[in-house]
Structure formats: structure tokens, C-alpha cells
Amino acid sequence: MSAPAGPARPADSRRLAYFATAVCALAVTAAVVSFANGLWMGAIWLLLAGLSSNMAWYYLRRARLSGSRGGADS
């Protein structure tokens, strides 16, 4: 049985932002290695880096906004 879906706590959003940032850094590294080896698969890694970068900004902003409200939702 899973936990009920409710508003995310600021710590959860902050943790997701850190994970997304780590994925972004790894994807950029993989893209550089792929392009250095002459593989065009690096373009897919760049798309993944862009997606994870946007996710990191979203979750960081979400954590800041819910933290500024004083945690009234939790």
C-alpha cells in the first residue's frame, strides 16, 4: 500500500532538486564523452540534461515557495 498523495514538503522538493541536478551533471558528462568518441548519441544525452535541469529548477523553486509560506500546507 502506498502513501496518500498530498502536498510535498519543502525537504522532499529540495531532495528531488538535488537528484535532478546530479542527473543533469551525469548527462552532460555522458554527452561530452559521446561527442568526444564521435557518437551522435550525445544529442540524446543533451536532451536529458535539459529536461533534468528544468526539473531541478522547478523543484528548487517549489521548495523555496513552500518554505516561504511557513509550511502551512504540511
pLDDT in tens, the chain (74 residues): 555 555 667 789 999 999 999 999 999 999 999 999 999 999 999 999 999 999 999 999 999 998 777 655 54
Residue 68, all three cell numbers: 516561504
The pLDDT score that the predictor gives to residue 58 is: 96
Contact 59, 23 (CB under 8 A): no
The pLDDT score that the predictor gives to residue 70 is: 62
Interatomic CA distance for residues 51 and 1, integer angstroms: 30
Residue with cell 531541478: 56
